A and B are shown apart, each in its own frame.
Chain A
Amino acid sequence: MQFFGGTEISPSLPASTASGNNGHMMYVFNRNGVCLLYREWNRPLHTLNQQQDHKLMFGLLFSLKSLTAKMDPTTPDKANLGVPQLPGQGCSFHSFRTNTYKLTFMESPSGIKIILVTHPRTGDLRESLKYIYNLYVEYVVKNPLYTPGTPIRCELFNTALDQYVRSIS
């Protein structure tokens, strides 16, 4: 599978119509389920404390992935329900929508999961997530002071991210 090639921030900035402020929150998890980054722009409702919230979100994604892998109507033989799957293995999902929000999900081959929660009427955000992944590569992975697997504390990344998410329509 060809993922994201090139050294410069490759998928050129997806065009924005600049209505702004559609992003609710964003999560980045590594393959062990550690929340590397949590950003919040517009979230009036908090039902749980932050740690519980991250755990619940990771659990939801994990279970939804095993659900879609099991449900996949195009392949006849599938692993049993609940068997952990490697990134890229089995049928995954890229978004779901409820009446109050839309969640878009991307998993990189190294198991980095990026989750963006937006207004339910935003369009297809798969390209936007690839762009955010590239921001992550540029500003976090290439940062010599960053230790992989620890929470991200990069001023530049946060700034670039805030700016970009504000432009998503």
Chain B
Amino acid sequence: MAAIYSLYIINKSGGLIFYKDYGSSGRMDTNDSLRVASLWHSMHAISQQLSPISGCFGIELLQADTFDLHCFQSLTGTKFFVVCEPGTQHMEGLLKHIYELYTDYVLKNPFYEMEMPIRCELFDINLTQAIQKDRVALLAR
């Protein structure tokens, strides 16, 4: 059983630019993943509106019955979120690391067009490594 079920990256306007599934039993098709991503984008925005105190940056952690969703928003509005098993720790660190990989291998890629779906081999390779490492660390714990 995987600790991390899936990873999504959405651009600042809510479009899905990266989706990877790591063995959840209900894999989503492309249309559904696009819908879910833009739905999350709007829920994130609404949660800021409903805050009782000013300075809210949106949902960081959503705890559902069968999974946890951790979300990290970069300063430019790109959102990274992972779906993982309930109670999985250290996801903020992983998300920050994925963000670093994104800046290094996607943003610095001269052939990458901003806000477009990510198709970068090096990003894929390093991402797989990072997730793999996280799993090993989880098993060791």
Chain A residues within CB distance 8 Å of chain B: 24-25, 42-45, 47-48, 53, 56-57, 59-60, 63-64, 66-68, 70-78, 81, 91-101, 103, 117
Contact = CB atoms under 8 A, between A and B. Distances in A.
Contact of B46 (A60, A72, A81): A60
Interface stretch (B49-57, B108-116, B124-132): B49-57
A76 B21 CA distance: 13
Interface residues of B, number: 37
B39 A81 contact: yes
Contacts of B43: 60, 63-64, 67
A51 to B, nearest CB: 14
A117 B52 contact: yes
B59 A73 contact: no
Interface stretch (B10-18, B62-70, B99-107, B133-141): B62-70
A51 B64 CA distance: 27
A127 B73 CA distance: 31
B68 to A, nearest CB: 10
B51 A45 contact: yes
Which one of B46, B52, B65 has the highest number of Cβ atoms from chain A below 10 Å of its Cβ?
B52
B123 interface: no
Given A44-B52, A56-B46, A60-B43, 9 more contacts: A47-B50, A63-B43, A74-B66, A77-B26, A81-B32, A91-B67, A94-B63, A96-B47, A98-B51
